[in-house]
Amino acid sequence: MKKVVLFSIYCLISFCFLFAKTISTIIIDPGHGGKDPGALGKTTQEKEINLELALNLQENLLSLMPEKQVLLTRDSDIYITLKDRVKVIEKYKDSIFISLHANSSTYTSATGYEIFYSKKLTKNKELALTLLEKIESDFPSLRNRGLKNGNLFVLENSDVPSVLIEIGFISNENEEKLISSSEFLLKLSQTISKALSFYCSKEEESR
């Protein structure tokens, strides 16, 4: 009897170890959409920038890590509540979550990118820092505003490593032109993909 119990425990541990080893899914969350345009620039809307970047990112991630599932909370111009975005995270316990946004300020001189994370999980900061460092090295001419904590619904309600990237300011005329250009969004998606691939391999090695 004792042997059976021990064997069962051994099987359970092996099973958990086997299935906890990899990050199976990357969830990309293009902010806003549909009736919610997000921040408004002179010629563009935030929701369009977020979606174009998300679609690029999905394609890049799938070519870099074909073994992973890459999901989008929206892949078209539709409105989704924050609660529904969180529901997607809840379905995939072994995932990481990246929300994409563009910033806005009443100070039109404000520029730069920043990454929000929640202190809820220590892994959130590791993920945020990996992304920040990679963006800084690939885009040295952009202003790095650093890591930020903020009480953001999707981050506070996520139980997997999660970050929210504000890629730049749509309220600054020059930065709006830059961050809405297809060339920039393609290059940034490559940068984010490489950072995520690096994070996943480091994370999986340590498991």
Cα–Cα distance list, 143 to 90, 165, 175, 182 (Å): 34, 14, 11, 20
- Which tokens hold the place of 177? 């032109």
- The residue at minimum Cβ distance from Zn ion is 101
Return the number of the residue (68 or 168) whose C-beta is nearest Zn ion. Answer: 168
Return the number of the residue (101 or 134) whose C-beta is nearest Zn ion. Answer: 101
DSSP summary character for residue 40: B
Sheet holding 162-169, edge to edge: 69-72, 25-30, 95-103, 162-169, 113-117, 144-149
Return the number of the residue (31 or 68) whose C-beta is nearest Zn ion. Answer: 31
Residues numbered 173 to 202 that lie near Zn ion (CB under 5 A) are none
Output the smallest distance, CB 83 to Zn ion, in A.
Answer: 16
State the number of binding residues for Zn ion (CB under 5 A).
3
Question: Is the separation of the CB atoms in 92 and 71 below 8 Å?
Answer: yes
Question: Is the separation of the CB atoms in 53 and 167 below 8 Å?
Answer: yes
Return the number of the residue (37 or 65) whose C-beta is nearest Zn ion. Answer: 37
DSSP strand pairing (95-103 vs 162-169)? parallel
**Could you say which of 47, 85, 101, 134 contacts Zn ion (CB under 5 A)?**
101
Q: Which stretch binds Zn ion (CB under 5 A): 97-105, 128-136, 146-154, 187-195?
A: 97-105
Residues numbered 15 to 54 that lie near Zn ion (CB under 5 A) are 31, 38
Query: Interface with Zn ion by CB under 5 A: which residues?
Result: 31, 38, 101
